[in-house]
Structure 1
């Protein structure tokens, strides 16, 4: 692969990693996030949704860049040539299916794409846990504030 492809992949990975870390640490929402007892936090839900979209989009772009450098996604066990648009669609479809840990098996990565798919599946598996922990932490902080006020 050429140097430009590696630079693009590294930049995308940095953006994805910082987005996930910002979510896990509470980021910009920490001061604004207020939940009532047993109420749904729309802000936290939208934040998680945006993180999922960033990861799907980021890994989809990585798979697309790799496919342009002949590290392909194999469809139904057959290695076939697809158009640029087809490769773009397959990359984002595969990214979404992998992140959501569905894994139909109709598209399979080759080479370094397998490692990336494992990393992405792990992220998809861990993010809901981080979401639940963030809800519990936010709930606990609100209870502590109420007790301090009394």
Structure 2
């Protein structure tokens, strides 16, 4: 039952996004699918890149996150935790379940700054194209 509700909400969200794009296109607004896809790909690349940085540093024995999230479990679990933390940091969500310590704070700060600047840079690019 829960999966059905999740599927319905997902379909509604996808339908809303499609409708938004369609309305923007009909009004001849300056919405660019190319820039949207580029922004999405850049976010994914940055998220995975920083996730790999966290993973490699933790694999070398550096304590990056509190509670040793990246020091236990299998390699796949550690990589998944690193990418999850990277995504939460990049999107500046900050759930609070993972806390960076030491040099991890500096890396997370740089990643959060990139996460804030990326959308602004793409919006400037979008309006600069006029």
Give the match for residue 116 of structure 2.
Answer: 125
List runs of 5+ in structure 1 lacking aligned partners. 1-35, 140-150
Give the match for residue 22 of structure 1.
Answer: none
Asked if the contact 1:71/1:113 (under 8 Å) is kept, the reply is: no
Total equivalences in the alignment? 102
Asked if the contact 1:73/1:107 (under 8 Å) is kept, the reply is: no
In structure 1, how many angstroms separate the alpha carbons of the residues matched to 2:77 and 2:51? 13
Residues 34-84 of structure 1: CA distance to partner in whole angstroms, max 9, x if unpaired?
Answer: xx951321111111111101100110100000110122343xx53363322
List runs of 5+ in structure 2 lacking aligned partners. 1-26
Matches within 5 A, 1:1-150: 37-74=28-65, 78-79=67-68, 81-139=72-130
Structure 1 residue ranges, 4+ long, deviating more than 6 angstroms after superposition: none
Question: TM-score by structure 1 length?
Answer: 0.62
